[in-house]
């Protein structure tokens, strides 16, 4: 139970936490859509209100090293829980290196099923070392272990990245992997790439935004339906030549020999979806596991042993089998505030709705209290983000303002997805518009917060739009073969803003000096609500002493 903070009285109005997804702060201006955007509201905030920069990547959010980019999932875990937990990549690294993964019940089931039925072990997942959704080394570790244990036939279904790594880097992974497979093929060991496609076109939808993406993956991986090629290299080169698209947008392909797909998934096979991040793994897991599935016609539902790398939804238990137990995130901000009787609002559009709900609450579906919490999802448009970079910022702000004016909520949290989702497209001009759209929404929102006597914490979960060009070591843009600037579509390692917008009692506290991260936001927000923060959380960024 939270205790009242004796030295600070609560605000008349709400405390609103604004997460500007994909908004990093970078000194380099080349390709920096955040810098080049027209943002009078944010410029004023940095000039006139208390602010600092927070770490939003690496060890600050539970990732293995500070060379690992942050992402929206671990970022919202850290903001919402006030704690730093070992996250996806780190958990899997530890499970593989220690051998615990291969001693677990799920691995044993997968292997036993293939051996007893003389069937095939399939791997499906994002094919890169981006370390946001997956890592190719995890795939290799499982392949090598399965071979040691006597598995004779494996198939790999590759989802091409171009988002967390270079936008046209697919062959930098495919070619070495094919050589790696050649070296593994000894005796009667049979392993092949069987199918694939770009991550935004095949399999990896999230939040039920477009089940057609998952249906394409099902047809490709399971049914073996689709355009056929002799190799993944041939597919990638052909699509690039015909369509001039980056890796994440490459259509599906099926590898075939003599007109026959080499890797359909059939009864008695074992299937591993090796992504460790949950948002884009849930829907394909449901397609494999649900008997009463109705999102699309599966045509054929093979009886397989299916497992995810992690349990992607801990409340709904998706999937039923998983190789590595996820972090058990307890004592989140939402739960503590409910226990203190604090009313809360969470709002975003579909693309980031799960981040202000599921991930904010420590990978937990549902509310802690139906009475005290309101969750609002504004449906996202199903169009390319660069064609509508303003996304749903205006509609989110409209609804948020209406809800705040009811006076029902003491704390609200909102995510504006623009900087991240548009940043991933690699379109610099669209990313500028995305940042400007959020700035306009902020201006509208802050005036209402003043009207209500409230306060806003303005931050971000990681960088993205702050680096839209791939740069050389001298900070100059790299060029494609056709002379165009090489776009950067991944997250960044830059810090993110932390601004307290307070026109009521900002002289009652000051920001502490030192290095802080996203996990420090929870204690700060709770302090501003007039409560002491639990000792288990990372410390508050504000101090009430000698303010």
Catalytic residue among 72, 134, 195, 348: 72
Residue 222, C-beta contacts closer than 8 angstroms, at least 6 positions apart: 264, 265, 298, 300, 302
Question: How far, in whole angstroms, is CA 386 from its chain's centroid?
Answer: 19
Q: What angle do CA 501, 505, 510 make, to 5 degrees?
A: 75
Dihedrals phi, psi of 375, to nearest 5 degrees: -115, 130
For 217-249, b where at least 16 C-beta lie within 10 A, e where not — what string? bbbbbbbbbbebbeebeebbeebbeeeebbbbb
* Adjacent-strand bridge partners of 261: 256
Residue ranges of alpha helices (H) inside 27-104 are 33-36, 40-48, 72-81, 88-98, 100-103
**Is 201 within 8 Å of 164 (Cβ atoms)?**
no
Structure tokens at 166: 């270079």
Distance CA 461, CA 129 (A): 21
Q: In angstroms, how far is the first alpha carbon of the chain from the final one?
A: 27
C-beta separation of 540 from 520 below 8 A: yes
Closest CA to 7 of 531, 538, 535: 531
Which residues face 254 on adjacent strands? 195, 228
> How long a stretch of residues is the chain?
547
Look up 119 and say whether it is catalytic.
no
Q: Counting Cβ atoms within 10 Å, is residue 340 exposed (0-12), middle (13-18) or buried (19+)?
A: middle
Max CA pair span of the chain: 78
How far is Cα of residue 358 from the mean position of the Cα atoms in its chain? Answer: 12
Under 8 Å between Cβ of 273 and 306: yes
Listed in order, strand segments (DSSP E) in 295-420 are 305-310, 322-324, 344-349, 373-378, 411-416
Q: Are 23 and 419 in contact (CB under 8 A)?
A: yes
Give, in order, the Cα–Cα distances in Å from 436 to each of 191, 355, 432: 49, 22, 6
**Among residues 76, 63, 89, 86, which one has the least CA distance to residue 519?**
76
- Residue 73 token pair: 């999932």
Phi, psi of 83 (to 5 degrees): -140, 160
Catalytic residues: 72
């Amino acid at each position: 139970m939270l205790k009242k903070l004796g030295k600070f009285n609560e605000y008349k109005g709400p405390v609103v936490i604004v997460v500007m997804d994909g908004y990093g702060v970078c000194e380099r201006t080349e390709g920096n859509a955040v810098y080049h955007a027209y943002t009078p509201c944010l410029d004023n905030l940095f000039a006139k209100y208390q602010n600092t920069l927070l770490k939003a990547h690496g060890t600050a959010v539970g990732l293995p090293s500070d060379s690992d980019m942050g992402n929206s999932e671990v970022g919202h875990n850290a903001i919402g829980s006030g704690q730093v937990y070992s996250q996806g990549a780190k958990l899997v690294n530890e499970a593989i290196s220690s051998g615990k993964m291969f001693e677990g019940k799920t691995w044993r089931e997968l292997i036993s099923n293939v051996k007893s039925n003389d069937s095939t072990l399939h791997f499906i997942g994002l094919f890169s070392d981006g370390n946001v959704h997956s890592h190719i080394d995890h795939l290799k570790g499982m392949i090598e272990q399965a071979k040691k244990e006597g598995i004779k036939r494996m198939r790999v279904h590759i989802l091409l990245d171009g988002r967390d790594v270079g936008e046209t880097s697919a062959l930098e992974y495919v070619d070495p992997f094919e050589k790696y497979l050649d070296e593994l093929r000894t005796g009667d060991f049979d392993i092949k790439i069987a199918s694939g496609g770009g991550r935004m076109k095949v399999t990896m939808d999230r939040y039920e935004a477009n089940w057609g993406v998952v249906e394409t993956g099902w047809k490709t991986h399971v049914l073996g339906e689709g355009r056929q090629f002799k190799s993944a290299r041939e597919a990638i080169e052909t699509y690039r030549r015909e369509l001039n698209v980056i890796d994440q947008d490459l259509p599906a392909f099926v590898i075939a020999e003599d007109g026959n797909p080499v890797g359909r998934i059939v009864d008695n096979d074992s299937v591993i979806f090796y992504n460790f991040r949950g948002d884009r793994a849930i829907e394909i897991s449901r397609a494999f596991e649900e008997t009463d599935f109705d999102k699309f016609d599966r045509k054929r539902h093979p009886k397989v042993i299916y497992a995810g790398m992690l349990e992607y939804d801990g409340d709904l238990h998706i999937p039923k089998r998983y190789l590595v137990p996820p972090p058990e995130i307890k004592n989140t901000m939402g739960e503590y505030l409910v226990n203190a009787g604090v009313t809360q609002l969470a709002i975003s559009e579909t693309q980031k709705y799960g981040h202000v709900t599921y991930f904010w609450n420590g990978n937990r579906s549902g509310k802690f209290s139906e009475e005290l919490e309101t969750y609002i999802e504004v449906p996202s448009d199903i169009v390319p983000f660069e064609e509508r970079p303003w996304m749903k910022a205006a509609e989110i702000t409209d609804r948020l303002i209406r809800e705040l004016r009811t006076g029902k909520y003491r704390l609200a949290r909102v995510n504006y997805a623009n900087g991240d989702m548009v940043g991933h497209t690699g379109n610099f001009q669209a990313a500028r518009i995305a940042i400007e759209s959020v700035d306009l929404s902020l201006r509208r929102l802050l005036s209402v917060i003043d009207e209500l006597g409230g306060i806003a914490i303005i931050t971000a979960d990681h960088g993205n739009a702050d680096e839209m060009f791939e740069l050389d070591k001298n900070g100059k843009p790299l060029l494609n073969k056709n002379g165009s600037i090489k776009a950067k579509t991944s997250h960044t390692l830059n810090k993110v803003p932390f601004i307290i917008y307070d026109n009521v009692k900002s002289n009652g506290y000051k920001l502490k000096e030192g290095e802080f991260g996203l996990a420090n936001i929870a204690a700060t927000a709770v302090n501003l609500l007039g409560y002491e923060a639990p000792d288990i959380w990372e410390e508050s960024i504000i101090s009430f002493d000698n303010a």
